[in-house]
Structure 1
């Protein structure tokens, strides 16, 4: 937080209480002590060594005489890590009150209890809230939901703490920029279950041990042996109809081939649907953009478009502006978002300009709404499945500006774009991926409530899952309109021993590159992180 430059710490307030729940078992206390040693974010460090020049004020119940001393610091806010009821006297000396972290829907105060409960109940996600709480009321400053690390109690604690740190940095940034109106959006106080019902019994410990062991085995098998195969389909109903009828079982599928097809987008012209999609070949490890037609049946000509880059290409988002047809393919490895115009659709593409530079955008989706162009994407660096970013411009080929609330949303269940935004009546809807359980598990249809150059809000209205009895039951992550029909993609997963050789090849190549870098700079250290999921991810 301090390195971000958005905040300074003028004083440390140390509370003299030491509390421990009576119902905690000896086993649970031992797990907490182990977390202090094993969790990266729980390594104990002295605040006095980190902030040697910052004064310390001792606080205890009834220390009203210290309020004058603290008032002299003219604090914007106090960040409280105290487990238990907030101290109302301290809220009165800060411009923006006392902030604290709360975990889950119950607003738990203990990260240990929350991580334990997540594993106990096998919850796929963790939710962290940064709240401003006063007597009888509270305001949610920032909130984020990311994927839980069910394979490790300690890694799950680190994930929760990392998410909270990001939220705190965003709030301090907004406050510095004068863009934190949410600080005054008060809600009626809920019942804050500040203490968990988790006791840490032997039976509970055995349950989470079994959960962690099972998830580790699952991740290992998926990482080394499982291949996913995506294919493109078309459903004979408009995209708006999925709000009331989420059934995807009546899809007509493109003929299956060795390379998989995904991320379909299309434009209907003269009764023929012209489609662009990503084709990915495991042997090359690189996606290319190909074309197909649908005139009563799929006619995949297999021609590669002339949009060529030395990096992986996917998600060829198609849209039109008047008579012109444009495409924005995903090329996050190039750290740019590029706009292409078709002189001879769907093959004659000319690069118009780079819209964004130095940003690793994933699945960029664009729409014109209320006189402006809006671009939605996620940030590959911060969270490709969870951190939604928005840009806007008055003209398509003009200057694009970042939304001041970026990331406008942190939610692995409904952030990453998944197709073409659409209208029903006066309401604008945005398809997004639900990646809570795994990448590309389902599509969430979000209704956008507020979209201005200062604010953004949306709510989930419908969830579309793949047909469990169909040929591709393991995931669905694109829904795009093509006239009065709808394109989608779904996947199947199979055990493929060739994946092992490909993974081993990648591991050896990465290891050699790391060894080469270490020889060039012996100070470098670390290990290669394994990605969760099957090979295509």
Structure 2
């Protein structure tokens, strides 16, 4: 009886491990340097032609700054016929800074140097215009706060002007501001995406009464909110096959003081084995409507460091548990 029990337990564990490995492989490839891609389209792109768009590669930036380790998390602002592209710039030191590329046509970019450096790590520089001034909300998790910066000499001279959320360590904060809706999402280390709301940018940011929007391998923002005719879409990282593998699009719908967040387009961007710069994965998208018909977008991707794979047991087990938890929470909400 004991032998039969152990045999059954073995097959159960084996089957469970096979399912987890299928969803989130235990053997994962190691990524190397990140690069930035960009392009534009007439009308909303059902699919971005990454293979036909331009790439500002890590090799190109290394030619201008030989201490470069990677460039990632691109956000852009189009102001007075100039594209200002802000990005996370990791050099040969412990923390990353915020760098800047500029272009007069959106096709050829020039490196302009570092625009913001702090004693802590910086990334994810979401830059936006609000009432004639330019602001930035980068990832400042090491400062244990979501900090707001203002440009006093755009695109340079960025200084802290407010603390939006204090005493938290959150990654990739993404904000959306309008006359009727002001929200901000950010994620903790346990893969919980929280949603905050306020009356305005400088209002008091509080957790929504439904505080957790997403949980698990798709619970970390991968770019700016953008609006279409149906409402709001948020790019969200998909880490099922390891960090930075792909980007899915989630639809956020707000009604009667509550909201829903549902995946609308899985793997809108993902690892592309035919593009060397992006063959390990893609994890960020900033897409904006320039005029009535033209969209412009910037994104990033990661290149494989080698073809070898490393064993990772803890990650897939944890991510699968969180995905199961998220599924159970959604089922509970549906039936109640």
TM-score in terms of structure 2 length: 0.79
| 1:389 and 2:194 are equivalent in the alignment | yes
Q: Is the 8 A contact 1:450 1:456 kept in 2?
A: yes
C-alpha separation between the residues in 1 aligned to 2:19 and 2:313? 25
Pick aligned residue for 1:399 from 192, 201, 204:
204
Q: Quote the residue 1:490 is aligned against.
A: 301
Q: How is 1:274-353 mapped onto 2 (pairs within 5 angstroms)?
A: 274-281=84-91, 283-296=92-105, 297-305=107-115, 307-353=116-162
Q: Specify which of 403, 409, 415 is matched with residue 214 of structure 2.
A: 409
1:363: how far off? 0.4
Measured after TM superposition, the shift of residue 246 of structure 1 is 4.1
User: How far apart are the structure 2 equivalents of 1:276 and 1:398?
Assistant: 26
Q: Can you give the 5+ residue segments of structure 2 that lack an aligned partner in the other structure?
A: 63-67, 317-336
Listed one character per residue, the Cα deviations across residues 196-217 of structure 1 (whole Å, up to 9, x for unaligned) are xxxxxxxxxxxxxxxxxxx3xx
Residue number in structure 2 paired with 1:469? 274
1:374 matches 2:183? yes
> For the residues of structure 1 that align with 2:124 and 2:204, how far apart are their CA atoms?
23
The answer (yes or no) to whether the contact 2:31–2:302 under 8 Å persists in 1 is no
> What is the aligned partner in structure 2 of residue 254 from structure 1?
56
Deviation at 1:455, TM superposition (A): 3.9
Give 1:532 deviation, angstroms: 6.0
The equivalent position to 1:359 in structure 2, one of 168, 184, 189, is 168
- Give RMSD over aligned pairs: 2.9
Distance in 1, matches of 2:103 and 2:256, equals 37
Any conservation in 1 of the 2:273–2:279 contact (CA below 8 Å)? yes
Q: Which has the higher strand share?
A: 2
C-alpha separation in 2, matches of 1:287 and 1:473: 23
More helix by share: 1
Are the counterparts in 1 of residues 286 and 297 from structure 2 also a CA contact under 8 Å?
yes
Kindly name which structure, 1 or 2, has the bigger radius of gyration based on alpha carbons.
Answer: 1
Q: Which has the higher contact order (CA 8 A, sep 6+)?
A: 2
Aligned-residue offset at 1:346: 1.3
In structure 2, C-alpha distance between the alignment counterparts of 1:228 and 1:415, rounded to whole Å: 23
Describe how 1:19-34 pairs up with structure 2 within 5 A.
Answer: 25-29=4-8, 31=10
Structure 1 residue ranges without an equivalent (≥5): 1-19, 32-111, 126-147, 151-214, 497-528
Tell me the SS of whatever aligns to 2:120: coil
Given that 1:247 and 1:467 are in contact with CA atoms closer than 8 Å, whether structure 2 keeps it comes out as no
1:451 CA displacement: 5.8
